Every structure is written in C-alpha cells, then in structure tokens.
Amino acid sequence: MSKYRVTLRIVHPECDLSEFDYILGEPATRSWVAGSERLTPTGRKIVGTNPNSYRAYSIINENTQVDFADAIESVVGKLEFHKDRINEILDSEGIMELFISVIDTNGVGDNLHWALLNRLGFLKVSLSLS
C-alpha cells in the first residue's frame, strides 16, 4: 500500500483539457469544462457554472504498488513529449501541479532526485503538498 496519494491537476480559464486523457494514456478521475454546469463528485447539481476547466489524474493512490519516484518519473516522461502544448496552456494562465497527500505519516520518507525535480521545473509543473 502506498503512503501517498499523488494527483496531477490541470486548470485553465477556458481550454478544454480532455486531450490530456490521450497524453497520459488514461481517463481523468475528475474533470469539467469552463462554463459547464457545476456538479458534486456524485453528480448532484450545484448552483452556477465552473469558472475554469479542470482535469485531475490519479498517479498514486492508497492501493498503488509502485515506487513514489518511479511514478513521478513516468508522468514526467509522458508530459515531456508534449512540452510545446503544455507551454501553450501554462503561458495562457493555465496551471499544472502534482498534488501530493501523505496518507500514512508513520515512517514516511522518500527522495525525488534533483534531476527529476529539474525536469518538473522545466515543464513548469508545480508541487503541492498536503
């Protein structure tokens, strides 16, 4: 069982981000398009419309049996092939981040090599920790 939950989150004020399903080779775990009706995760309607487009991809969850750094490396490798498109999105007020939540605080410790962090920085992917 993983000690972490890692989600790649992408936000943009207007672009449809569904192309990332293809880029990452998997469907988003949560998504909406700017201007669409707001819904809860269970599909219940909420008043208003979504101000931004959003996509989230589960990279590691509590059931994942993969090394933390290897999972991040895999995502970075997929994103690097599409760096120009990612730059277009991020240069037009988009945001891309790896959101890392610690599930098990007992004996947590991992290492992301500086070279991998450099690749994330080159892609302009932020890290968020919880």
pLDDT tens-place string over residues 73-126: 989 999 999 999 999 999 999 999 999 888 766 766 778 899 999 999 999 999
Domain that holds residue 123: 4-129
Say yes or no to pLDDT of 32 above 80: yes
> Is the separation of the CB atoms in 76 and 62 below 8 Å?
no
Mean pLDDT computed over every residue of the chain:
89
Q: Chain centroid to CA 28: how far?
A: 9
**Domain total in the chain:** 1
Q: Rounded distance, CA 2 to CA 60, Å? A: 7
What pLDDT, on a 0 to 100 scale, did the predictor assign at position 27?
Answer: 95
Please give the residue that has the higher pLDDT: either 4 or 27.
Answer: 27
3-class state of residue 75 by DSSP: helix
What confidence category does residue 129 fall into, taking pLDDT thresholds of 50, 70 and 90? confident
pLDDT for 48-58, tens place per residue?
999 999 999 98
| pTM of the entire predicted model | 0.89
